[in-house]
Structure 1
């Protein structure tokens, strides 16, 4: 596949995401839609981040116009209540601020970063409680938080030279790894409840795991050279996860929605996130080159699941935490913004595979 073919594919996937609606009629359980691209939630935040990555790679003005238009529309409507998930779009807004130098965007980011640092509900040991739209999740930490909020805090720390923001991001990564790592597999449990001191059945959910794989490789870009110890720890954790992912990868290149449950369905958004993180980790020299094949299998599996109109197929709907495996097995499949977006991240990484995808 040539570079121009990848660019064309990105345009199709991106256009589909920008115009995504609930065509399948799936019953949305989230108070704010995570399907409609026009709303402000975590799913749309991931979508915006994928488009920002593409803009950084290509400087396609149409992409920046969409991003600025999206933020202007939502700012005019009024931003939602602050929580873990509604922070997610701000990660992209920090970049849009840099591109446009519109101080309004930076002011919003500053306000929300201060709220995260000082006012966001906390668990024991100062973990960011996974409060979401409509649900407090008292005492709970989820692996999702690292992508949805902690990346933003690290990015703000770098942007503003705020070492307290960077320090907070480090604490959250270390705390989440401490409580969510499954010692038997090297994968991550979905969450931990400090109130009941339990891990919700130690369920190793694929997309949750992919938030670490795809997020940590970008997080490492944000940490300065003075944090080599933390970087080494996070890379070692990533390598342990990828060793397990290689073992559990389906022969078709995908991963099951319950990674170690080969009877659960294979799922595309997690596969895209895994492939992105693995291929970038190899390119950056974080993990041995032998894992490249694992990432390439994932990439090729996703390429096969992009339909003619740009829809990424076999994506599961938003998934609340549970101690029941069956609750994860029955989550419906439908087109989702984050399925499109994680595919966009993967495609931007594929653009860097010069030896395989030439001009």
Structure 2
């Protein structure tokens, strides 16, 4: 595939995300829509981050204009209550602030990051409790939190030179690894409940695992000067995860929504997140070169799943934690902003390959 063809895919997937709606009629279980691109929630936050990656790669002014308009419109309407998931759009807002120098953007980021430090509910051992728009989830930590909130805290630590913010982000990565790593295979369980001290059936959910794979490589970019021992620990954890992922990769290049369960459907957002993290980690020398083939195979599979209008297909709807594996298999499939965004992130790595694969 030529680089121009890849850039066309890039633009198509980005433009499709701008206009996503619930055309498939999925019954939304979230109190704030996670399909409608205009609303402020975690799914849109991931979408914005993918668009920011697209802007950083191409410098297209219309992409930045969309981001500025999106934030201005939502600020005008009034922001939702603070929680792990509604924090996600602020990750992109830190970059848009740097591009525009609009004080209101930084003021909002300061207010929300201080809330995390001083008021956000905590579990035992000071984990960020996975409070969301519809549930308190008392005593629970979920792997999702690393992408939705912790990347933002790292960015604010870097932006404001706040050592306490940086240290908080380190603590959360280490705590989530401590309680969510499945000792049998090196993958992550979806969550851990300190109340009953259990891991909800030890289910290794695909997209949840990809939140680590796709976030940790960017986390290291964000902090840069991270303590070497911590960096080694994070990368050793990534290597162990990728070793397991290679074993469970479907022959078509995809991963299943339940990674170890071949009876569960293959899922695009997880696959794109894995491929992004793997290819970036190989490029930066974080994991051995031998895993490049695994990442490229997944890239080829995702390219095949970008339709003519730019829709990334075979993406699962938002998925709450559960101790019943069957319920994960029943989550509906529909176009989602994070499916588009993780694909955009993957395409940024594809552009850096010497030879771009053909789907």
Work out whether the TM-score is over 0.5. Answer: yes
SS in structure 2 of the partner of residue 225 of structure 1: coil
Match of 1:123 in 2: 123
- The answer for the alignment partner of 2:319 in structure 1 is 319
By how many angstroms is 1:245 displaced? 0.2
User: Is 1:343 aligned to 2:343, yes or no?
Assistant: yes
Q: Indicate yes or no: 2:92 matched with 1:84.
A: no
Displacement of 1:10: 1.0
Deviation at 1:259, TM superposition (A): 0.2
| Secondary structure at the counterpart of residue 141 of structure 1 | strand
| CA pair 148-166 structure 1, distance change in 2 beyond 3 A | same
Determine the structure 2 residue equivalent to 1:221: 221
- Paired with 2:242 and 2:208, the residues of 1 have a C-alpha distance of 14
Partners of 2:233 and 2:216 lie apart in 1 by 11
Between the aligned partners of 1:164 and 1:41, the Cα distance in structure 2 is 26
Report the TM-score, using the length of structure 2 for normalisation: 0.99
Can you list the C-alpha shifts for 1:50-107, whole angstroms capped at 9, x where unaligned?
A: 0101111111101000000100010000000000000000000000000001111000
Distance 1:226 1:234, change over 3 A: closer
Q: Number of matched residues?
A: 358
Name the counterpart of 1:301. 301
Q: Residue 314 of structure 1 contacts residue 334 of structure 1 at CA under 8 Å; is this kept in 2?
A: yes
RMSD value, Cα: 1.0
Instruction: Give matches, 1:227-242, under 5 Å.
Output: 227-242=227-242
**How far apart, in 1, do the equivalents of 2:95 and 2:62 lie?**
16
Query: Is residue 302–residue 343 contact of structure 1 (8 Å, CA) maintained in 2?
Result: yes
Instruction: Tell me the CA shift for residue 268 of structure 1.
Output: 0.3
Q: Could you tell me how far apart the structure 1 residues matched to 2:2 and 2:110 are?
A: 41
Pair 1:305–1:123, CA change in 2 (3 A): same
Unaligned runs of 5+ in 2: none
TM-score normalised to structure 1 length = 0.99
Equivalent residues in 2 for 1:244-263, closer than 5 Å: 244-263=244-263
CA shift digits 1:16-61 (9 cap, x unpaired): 1100000000000000000000000000000000010111111110
For structure 1, the 5+ residue unaligned runs are none
Matched, 1:143 2:153: no
Tell me if the contact between 2:220 and 2:226 (Cα under 8 Å) persists in the aligned partners: no
CA change 1:298–1:7 in 2 (3 A) is: same
Say whether the 8 Å CA contact 1:351–1:357 is kept in structure 2.
no
1:154 maps to what in 2? 154
